[in-house]
Amino acid sequence: MDGETNLKVREAVPELTHIRSAKAASQARFTVQSEAPDVNMFKYSATVEMFDGQVNKDGSRVKAPVNLNTILLRGCVLRNTEWVIGMVVFTGIDTKIVMNSGGTPSKRGRVERLMNPMVYVVHG
C-alpha cells in the first residue's frame, strides 16, 4: 500500500475467532453491513452481526466492528501465519486499489505536446 516492506499487523475480528476450520466457516451464521466502495485507502467501516446464538447481556445479537486492522487488502502477502479463513467484501472495480489506480501518466513534456500539432500543420 505505502511502498514499505515492513510488516503490518492485522488481527481477526474477536467475535469470529471461534471459526477455526472450513467446516466451521460453512456453518457460521452472520451478516456483514459494509460501507459502500470508497477510494480512501486509510478508512474502512463495517459491522458483523452474529446469528449463531451469541447474544449480549440485554438479549440483542452480538455486533462486532470491522476496520482496516481486521481486513486484508488485495495484494497483501501473508507472513508469520500458516492459514487464514476470509470473506471477500469487494471485487473487481470496487476494490480500493483499482479505484485508486489512475491512467498511465504521459512521459512527454508540455513543450513536446504543444509542438506535435504544430509540426503536423507545418509539414501537412
**Is residue 73, in this structure, part of any structural domain at all?**
yes
Residue 43 vs residues 10, 15, 62, 94, 97: alpha-carbon distances, Å:
14, 21, 23, 15, 13
How far from chain centre, in Å, is Cα 57?
Answer: 32
**Is residue 8, in this structure, part of any structural domain at all?**
no
**Is residue 6, in this structure, part of any structural domain at all?**
no
**Is residue 9, in this structure, part of any structural domain at all?**
no
Cβ atoms within 10 Å, residue 31: 12
Average pLDDT for the chain:
80
**Is residue 4, in this structure, part of any structural domain at all?**
no
User: Cα angle at 110 between 108 and 111, to 5 degrees?
Assistant: 100
**Is residue 61, in this structure, part of any structural domain at all?**
yes
CB distance 95 to 74 below 8 Å? yes
**Is residue 67, in this structure, part of any structural domain at all?**
yes
Name the residue range of residue 73's domain. 14-123
CB distance 41 to 27 below 8 Å? no
For residues 56 and 95, give the distance between their C-alpha atoms in angstroms, rounded to a whole number.
33
Residue type at 29 in one-letter notation? R
For 36-82, write each residue's pLDDT tens digit.
Answer: 888 887 888 999 998 877 777 887 888 889 988 888 877 788 888 87
For 20-30, write each residue's pLDDT tens digit.
Answer: 888 988 888 88
Q: Does residue 1 have a pLDDT over 60?
A: no
**Is residue 2, in this structure, part of any structural domain at all?**
no
Total number of domains constituting the chain: 1
Answer yes or no: pTM beyond 0.75: no
